[in-house]
Amino acid sequence: MKMKNNVKIGRWQIHWMMLALITLCFASCKDDNEDQEGSFDPDKPVVVSDFIPKVGGLATRMVLYGDNFGNDASRVKVTIGGQNAKVVGVKNQSLHCIVPARAYDGDIVVIIVDENGEEIARAVSESNFVYEKKMLVSTFLGDYVEKESDRVIKDGPFGDCGSFRNMRWLTFDPQNPSHMYVACQQGGTRLIDFEREYVSTMSTNIDNVSSINWTLNGDMILSRDHSSDAAIGIFLFSRESGFTSRTDVCLGRGVKATAIHPVNGEMYFTRFRAGDVQRYDFGTGILETIFQNPYGGVHFILIIHPTGDYAYLVECERHYIMRTDYDWETERFMIPYLVCGSAGNAGYADGVGSSARLNWPMQGTFVKNPDYEAQGGDQYDFYFCDRENHAIRKLTPMGRVETFAGRGNNGTWGYNDGDLRLEARFNWPESIVYDELRKCFYVGDTRNFLIRKIGYEE
Amino acid sequence: MKNFLLTCLLFLGLAANAMAQEEVTVKGVVTDTNGEPLIGVNISVKNMPGLGTITDVDGKYSLKVTTFSTLVFSYVGFETEEVLVKDQRVINMTLKESVTQLIDELVVTATGPQEKITVTGAITNVDVEELKANPTTSVANSLAGVVPGIMAMQKSGRPGSVSEFWIRSISTFGASNAALVLVDGFERDLNEINVEDIESFSVLKDASATAIYGSKGANGVILINTRRGKEGKINISAKMEGFYNRFTQFPEFVDGYTYASMANEAKITRNQEPLYQPEELEIFRLGLDPDLYPNVDWMDVMLRDGAWSSRATLNMSGGGSTARYFISGSYQDQQGMYKTDKSLREYNTNANFKKYTYRMNLDMDITKTTLLKVGISGSLRKQDDPGVGSTAIWTALMGYNSIMVPVLYSDGKVPAYGDDGGDRFNPWVQATMTGFNESWQNNIQTNVTLDQNLDFITKGLRFIGRYGYDTNNSNWINRKKNPELWRAKRYRTLEGELIFERVVPERKMTQDSGSEGDRREFFEWEMHYNRRFRDHRIGGVVKYNQAAKIQTQQIGSDLKNGVSRRNQGLAGRVSYNWRLRYFIDFNFGYTGSENFHKDNRFGFFPAVSGAWNITGEPFMKEVKWVNMLKLRYSHGKTGNDNLGGIRFPYLYTIESMVDSDGNPTGGYQFADFNFDRYYGGMRYSSLASPNVSWEIATKQDLGLDFSLLGDKLSGAVDYFRERRDGIYMTRNYLPWMVGLESNPSANVGIVKAQGFDGNFTLKQDLGQVNLTLRGNITYSKNEIVERDEENTVYWYKMQEGHRVDQARGLVDLGLFKDYEEIRNSPRQTYGEVMPGDIKYKDINGDGVINDDDRVAIGATTRPNLTYGFGTSARWKGLNVSLHFQGVGKSTYFIDGSTVYMFSLGDGWGNVLKDMAESNRWISAEISGDPATEDPNADYPRLTYGNNSNNNRQSTFWLRNGSYIRLKTVDIGYTLPKAMVNRAHFNEVRIFFIGTNLLTWSGFKLWDPEMGSSHGKNYPLSKTLSLGVAINL
């Protein structure tokens, strides 16, 4: 009898074991949830004990240390120098915010607010942040789009003027500092009106505009980059017509850039296929070749020094820059010689003369450097776009090449505003102009489809 | 899962099995020779399948039968007895324990089962129970360390993946070193067989055992016979197992703060600006900006702690004296380790693997001398994978460091590091949002065997004819999609907002599918003759075989693909022994493959072997402790016709010459000016190699089989040598002046190999405990004797004289101490060198370190030594066994973005925790401690970007792949008979099996068995399984 009982249990045991096995197959594991960081405790004081960095400027990433900040970024307000700082993250004992503009006083206040935005606690840092006004790269015009398909080219007021394409040349109207022109290879020639704060498209009926320059009496010279020996390459738009009346200047195939001598007024331009520099005299109408470029069939441009003493011949496609001195007697530029870079060797290196490396240098601009005043001689630095290095480089009169802006954080291309070398990034900067009035640079950042600005924060 | 449940229910239902009732009731008690009642003895009625019973706890039984039927009493470990029921109503039976000796063991050879004592070749009979102990999806995974003479490595742990294995030694650098696997006599896939279906598993290693297979036997042969029905009451066994899998080793990576700090160190130590400012490091450390300064443990995000798997098998066998059957089915479900998105109810993107198999073997006695065997089997293997596939996921898992991108941006955008169609998507996206792939293989095999005893012609003559027909299909459907993927720019805007860039546009789901398939037909006949004339025993076999394999899908436009691959052969064997003492065997294969030119189509592969059974000698009669001692030697040839898919190498191909636009070129303009009569040229695009044929292996084997101390200690030791001639390879180094347009191929390589393998088993009873200790070892070393390679002034650069796939690289001398040492050392030509970089040895003494200083270092990735040992103990119903497995003589380089820290220089790649925590060279300026400038540090000075001096194959990065692991632990308990019999079960066993539980290895970064250089593979699993086996 006893035995029988046992056996029954045995049978059930087996069935239970099977059941257990089956259940095993269904089991699954659960993930643990992370513990929530401590939230704000109204009974405790809010404390700001320390912060880093101690010195910085607009958009510096600041970390605050302390206690009882809570864990909800929307309930924490930080002001630095009386300005609201964006709070990125908060973890009760630490907080990350972005230093706002004009935080000159540097006093740091942390305010905890309730759900209605009413202040319930505050803490002030003992020491103050040292706010330095510094030079920054910022976005001047154009919409940054996250997707290619959202990009539009359109006229409109600043803030709603679409994008810019293939900005090959930037220039200011020498007689109207509130008009900047952008030669866009596609999308027409754009006029940026600082007064009306409006971007419009200038109707020139010319495609592939490669450069815009100005005669000494203020007429506009447009070059058209085409591949015909028998077509007009350079046009003139007279100022008195409001740049509406167009005159043919001369033939020109593959004109990559024009330049007007700032003293004598004659025009020079570079030709792609022929690989030479042409001189055109507006008075006589004589067109002549003054020298041959070392390479034909390459992109190169000529930019004349404001004194007219020399010009830089930027060998875009061969990654180096030459200098050609002006012979004031013959009123002609002479055979050029190397200033920086190495012919045919693309690369990225700061240095003097041929030890520097460039990668597709493009438009450049001369800017007076007050530091040179004491020593006399050439007073101008040459800032140019180093397109495929995604940087703005600076060439000093002594032939030293430095990186002025871009490639932030050891990077290459990208889109970031901020500190010139630590943060800022460009993507194919092609054109640059210096605004004497506002003391800043504008950069045609082609592959970000934007016009960027380099200058001191306002 | 559903199926598993159904299967379970199925045999729960079967518990109440049928009992028949007929005219008379017979009762009785079954006892053993000591008079103890036997519980659970099977009593069946001959030729009445299904009719029978088992004895109860008191050994009693009662059965209703018709008179004049025969009762069969059978019990495991006892001799079977038969009794004719006439007018007895009580039949008490005493069963004798059966005595089997090792000598009686049967070994399955190429020509059928043979007594072990008569075997002259090197054949290992594998104990199928040992294979069952390893509960993996494939039989191949359980071979390593279990079967002497087989080396194996599992390169990936993905569900459904199988081990690579080879017999004895890799003896060729040609296309294939894979063994020939024959299931029920025909070439079939080892991995689809359910291990429970295997009756016998034997490994044929030397020439005498494999010569019969001629041009297919050179890499060794595995013979598997599946189970067949036995006469008697229906026998139902079922087995269910549930597994819990975990990775044996989980690659652990550093956290965001450590990674960023090390990246800064890599920059600063090479005089570059740091990547992160101090406040940025603080943001990492405190986790204050998860969008731009994330800290993601991708392994944790992606992978589960463990995965569940299950397996169930059911088989039934039985039958009468005229027909017997064996039917089995199995189901296996192995889940992947990926975490899946729970919101995706429609499909599962995990890397799951399911396998279903079935088999039916039917034996019918058509006449008294004619036996017809029919076998049908099939399998379905289904594999799921996320849309981008597992390789991409592991590449990303190892490439995505913790600070690259968050799992999701705070505004819900899905991040990606880059767009290359998969690899650089973030792992979470890859695993859950890229669609899913299904692939499945379904194979069906059919064989029919006719076994005719021809004793009526002459005694000992037998005819066997065999026909087989297999279809194999594999199909896949890939469904791919991806969401819109974004990446935030490095910094915020001046106002503190994120800037995004869309990296990848959204892709709606697309699908494509494909298939592969082949059909195979086999036909064989054999004539056997075995006869004993007093002291002389003669045996002979003549065997004709033919096989054809045709690609059935995606054959394309190339007519060659539509031609089936055919083989034909005649083989034979003559054996003779005198008084089971002296044995001599001659085997041959005359086989042909139509892949070769007709002059080279057939080859003759002879082998001769002999054995001396020393125990058979009169003088050994006195030596009681030696039960069996046999010396074997064989010498012979076999071939390998696998050239790696190349079809008809003896045919040339002539093509019209066309230029890059597709217009004819290389011809002549026959027309006058202004007219067009241009005829393009023709050229040999591939040259005929008419003399190409198979590889020839000449093998020798000297072996000793022994069984000592009353079969307590038994085993075998074999020494083998092999020379492989005529290894097929492309002749890349013919002089240009020969003027060939393409490189022809020829049988030019030679490799020799030698080694030994052996095994032993020691059995000892300690009271009621039966102890078994067993071990096996395989060691081999190969050497390239000849190979078509470029000549060089430095002999050590040649592959000749080295192992196949020998690792090569520079020899490191530690790290440079200072600039002084750099100046005074031979010039290293792999880029600028700083202190803390790797210093190399100038092998040729020319003062320059370059590729001429690369030498053979270490061994090969694939191990050259494999061993296994284990012990098992049995006490009453409880059994415990442990099995250890290890390999040696395996070395490999480690490289890639996981090992060469920061080598890609674009933020891709991760740093293993183990490497970060170990001792690396750090300049004193950074660490503030001159002791960290250690020339003997484990890792060199960091570099951000590739350091071509440090990051190259050298002894510095060579790792020893040897390991030893606790491969299996098997603990089982058989429930007492008394208990289970009342529940109508015959036997119930509950078992626990653990695999890969412990591993000891000098290599710590990832599982050493994978032999992976970069660790970017699905890691191997350790498995804990619990199961129950039931026999009705």
Over range B932-945, report the average pLDDT.
88
| pLDDT band at A286; cut points 50, 70, 90 | very high
Spatial separation of the C-alpha atoms in residues B159 and B136, rounded to whole Å: 9
| pLDDT band at B347; cut points 50, 70, 90 | low
* ipTM value: 0.77
Provide CATH 2.120.10.30 ranges for chain A: 135-456
Q: Which B positions 51-90 lie with beta carbon below 8 A of chain A?
A: 57
Spatial separation of the C-alpha atoms in residues B501 and B486, rounded to whole Å: 6
Q: For residues A65 and B17, which has the higher predicted lDDT (pLDDT)?
A: A65
Pick from B752, B764, B755: which is nearest to B717 by CA?
B755
pLDDT averaged over every residue in chain A: 87
- Cross-chain CB nearest to A26 (options B1, B8, B240): B1
pLDDT averaged over every residue in chain B: 84
- Give the relative orientation of helices B256-268 and B278-286 as an angle to the nearest 10 degrees: 160
For residue A149, what are the contacts with CB-CB under 8 A and spacing of at least 6? none
A174-191 pLDDT, tens digit each: 999 999 999 987 778 899
Counting Cα atoms < 13 Å in the Cβ hemisphere of B785 gives 14
Over range B539-559, report the average pLDDT.
88
User: Cβ separation of B491 and A408 shorter than 8 Å?
Assistant: yes
Asked if the model's pLDDT at residue A21 lies above 60, the reply is no
Q: Which B positions 329-358 lie with beta carbon below 8 A of chain A?
A: 333
Asked if the model's pLDDT at residue B209 lies above 70, the reply is yes
Distance, CA of B800 to chain centre: 29
Calculate the alpha carbon distances from B688 to B620, B735, B899 in Å.
Answer: 61, 18, 45
- β pairing state of A167-173 and A176-184: antiparallel
Q: Which A positions 132-191 lie with beta carbon below 8 A of chain B?
A: 136, 138-139, 144, 146-148
Asked if the model's pLDDT at residue B368 lies above 90, the reply is no
Q: What is the pLDDT of residue A301?
A: 94
Residue ranges and CATH numbers for the domains of chain B are 2-95 (2.60.40.1120), 102-233 (2.170.130.10), 653-686 (no CATH)
Q: How far is A378 from chain B (nearest CA, A)?
A: 32
Q: For residues B948 and B142, which has the higher predicted lDDT (pLDDT)?
A: B948
CB B187 within 8 A of CB B181: yes
Length of chain B in residues, anyone? 1032
Q: What is the pLDDT of residue B8?
A: 47
Distance, CA of B878 to chain centre: 31
Over range B902-910, report the average pLDDT.
82
Asked if the model's pLDDT at residue B18 lies above 60, the reply is no
Spatial separation of the C-alpha atoms in residues A345 and A389, rounded to whole Å: 13
DSSP assignment string, B199-255: EEEEEE-SHHHHGGGGGG-TT-EEEEEE----SEEEEEEEEEEEEEEEESS---B--
B614-653 pLDDT, tens digit each: 888 888 888 888 888 889 898 988 888 877 778 888 888 8
Asked if the model's pLDDT at residue B17 lies above 80, the reply is no
Chain B residue with Cα closest to A91? B288
Chain A residue with Cα closest to B945? A410
B412-432 pLDDT, tens digit each: 888 888 777 667 888 888 888
| pLDDT band at A316; cut points 50, 70, 90 | very high
Q: How far is A206 from chain B (nearest CA, A)?
A: 33
Pick from B968, B852, B860, B957: which is nearest to B899 by CA?
B957
CB B628 within 8 A of CB B616: no
Residue type, B497: E
Asked if B676 has any chain A CB less than 8 Å from its own CB, the reply is no
Spatial separation of the C-alpha atoms in residues B27 and B41, rounded to whole Å: 13
| Topology, domain A47-131 | Immunoglobulin-like (2.60.40)
At which residue do the structure tokens 């429930």 appear? Answer: B975
- β pairing state of B60-65 and A337-341: unpaired
Spatial separation of the C-alpha atoms in residues B512 and B430, rounded to whole Å: 18
Instruction: Write out chain B residues lying below 8 Å of A348, CB-based.
Output: none
At which residue do the structure tokens 């005498």 appear? Answer: B208
Q: How is residue B177 written in tokens?
A: 């070193």
Asked if B16 has any chain A CB less than 8 Å from its own CB, the reply is no
Q: What is the pLDDT of residue A31?
A: 41
CB B968 within 8 A of CB B823: no
Over range B83-108, report the average pLDDT.
72
Instruction: Write out chain B residues lying below 8 Å of A24, CB-based.
Output: 242, 244, 308, 310, 1026
Spatial separation of the C-alpha atoms in residues B326 and B318, rounded to whole Å: 7
Provide CATH 2.60.40.10 ranges for chain A: 47-131
Architecture of domain A135-456: 6 Propeller (2.120)
| pLDDT band at A6; cut points 50, 70, 90 | very low
Pick from A268, A317, A144: which is nearest to B493 by CA?
A144
Over range A217-232, report the average pLDDT.
91
Instruction: Write out chain B residues lying below 8 Å of A17, CB-based.
Output: 990, 1028
Instruction: Write out chain B residues lying below 8 Å of A59, CB-based.
Output: 491-494, 496
| pLDDT band at A29; cut points 50, 70, 90 | very low
Instruction: Write out chain A residues lying below 8 Å of B975, CB-based.
Output: 10, 14
User: Cβ separation of B988 and A14 shorter than 8 Å?
Assistant: yes
At which residue do the structure tokens 């030479």 appear? Answer: A276
- β pairing state of A418-419 and A135-141: antiparallel
Pick from B602, B590, B592, B576: which is nearest to B543 by CA?
B590
> Which of B219-223, B247-251, B510-514 shows the lowest mean pLDDT across its residues?
B247-251
Q: What is the pLDDT of residue B16?
A: 38
CB B886 within 8 A of CB B145: yes
Residue B821 three-state SS: helix
Q: Which A positions 287-346 lie with beta carbon below 8 A of chain B?
A: none
Spatial separation of the C-alpha atoms in residues B726 and B696, rounded to whole Å: 6
Asked if the model's pLDDT at residue B21 lies above 60, the reply is no
- Cross-chain CB nearest to B983 (options A11, A58, A410): A11
- Cross-chain CB nearest to A146 (options B8, B501, B1030): B501
Q: How is residue B275 written in tokens?
A: 């990547």
Q: Which A positions 63-122 lie with beta carbon below 8 A of chain B?
A: 63, 85-86, 88-91, 94-98, 101
Asked if B9 has any chain A CB less than 8 Å from its own CB, the reply is no
Asked if the model's pLDDT at residue B179 lies above 80, the reply is yes
* Chain A / chain B CB contacts < 8 angstroms: 152
Neighbours of B487 (CB within 10 A): 21
Radius of gyration of chain B (CA): 33
Spatial separation of the C-alpha atoms in residues A134 and A55, rounded to whole Å: 11
- Cross-chain CB nearest to B273 (options A410, A416, A425): A410
Q: How is residue B958 written in tokens?
A: 């060579």
> Which of B40-49, B122-131, B577-586 shows the lowest mean pLDDT across its residues?
B40-49
| pLDDT band at B39; cut points 50, 70, 90 | confident
Residue B117 three-state SS: helix
Over range A218-226, report the average pLDDT.
92
Q: What is the pLDDT of residue A404?
A: 94
Strand locations in B556-596 (E): 565-578, 582-593
B370-401 pLDDT, tens digit each: 999 999 999 898 888 888 877 788 888 888 88
Over range B213-234, report the average pLDDT.
83
Report the share of chain B in percent with pLDDT over 90.
7
Asked if B10 has any chain A CB less than 8 Å from its own CB, the reply is no
Spatial separation of the C-alpha atoms in residues A200 and A188, rounded to whole Å: 10
Chain A residue with Cα closest to B272? A410
Q: What is the pLDDT of residue B120?
A: 81
| pLDDT band at A35; cut points 50, 70, 90 | very low
Q: What is the pLDDT of residue B12?
A: 43
Asked if the model's pLDDT at residue A1 lies above 90, the reply is no
Instruction: Answer positive or negative: Cα dihedral of A96, A99, A100, A106.
Output: positive
Instruction: Write out chain B residues lying below 8 Å of A96, CB-based.
Output: 283, 286, 288-289
Q: What is the pLDDT of residue A292?
A: 92
Spatial separation of the C-alpha atoms in residues B508 and A32, rounded to whole Å: 33
Q: For residues B493 and A394, which has the higher predicted lDDT (pLDDT)?
A: A394
Report the share of chain B in percent with pLDDT over 70.
95
Q: How far is A438 from chain B (nearest CA, A)?
A: 20
Spatial separation of the C-alpha atoms in residues A266 and B891, rounded to whole Å: 75
Asked if B398 has any chain A CB less than 8 Å from its own CB, the reply is no
Counting Cα atoms < 13 Å in the Cβ hemisphere of B251 gives 29
Neighbours of B823 (CB within 10 A): 8
- Cross-chain CB nearest to A414 (options B280, B489, B502): B489
Over range B192-210, report the average pLDDT.
85
For residue B738, what are the contacts with CB-CB under 8 A and spacing of at least 6? none
Q: Which A positions 117-136 lie with beta carbon below 8 A of chain B?
A: 136
User: Cβ separation of A417 and B494 shorter than 8 Å?
Assistant: yes
Asked if the model's pLDDT at residue B475 lies above 50, the reply is yes
Asked if the model's pLDDT at residue A16 lies above 70, the reply is no
Spatial separation of the C-alpha atoms in residues B184 and B176, rounded to whole Å: 23
Asked if B494 has any chain A CB less than 8 Å from its own CB, the reply is yes
For residue A160, count CB atoms less than 10 angstroms from its CB and return exposed for 0-12, middle for 13-18, buried for 19 or more: exposed
Q: What is the pLDDT of residue A9?
A: 43
Pick from B184, B201, B193, B203: which is nearest to B162 by CA?
B193
Asked if A7 has any chain B CB less than 8 Å from its own CB, the reply is yes
User: Cβ separation of B975 and A10 shorter than 8 Å?
Assistant: yes
Asked if B1026 has any chain A CB less than 8 Å from its own CB, the reply is yes
Strand partners, B695: B640
B765-800 pLDDT, tens digit each: 888 888 888 888 889 888 888 888 888 888 888 888
User: Cβ separation of B975 and A21 shorter than 8 Å?
Assistant: no
Q: Which A positions 419-438 lie with beta carbon below 8 A of chain B?
A: 422-423, 425
At which residue do the structure tokens 């293993």 appear? Answer: B912
Q: For residues B811 and B96, which has the higher predicted lDDT (pLDDT)?
A: B811
Q: How is residue B157 written in tokens?
A: 């742990």
Asked if the model's pLDDT at residue B216 lies above 60, the reply is yes
Local structure of residue B885 (DSSP, 8 states): E
Q: How far is B110 from chain A (nearest CA, A)?
A: 41
Asked if A27 has any chain B CB less than 8 Å from its own CB, the reply is yes
Q: How far is A261 from chain B (nearest CA, A)?
A: 40
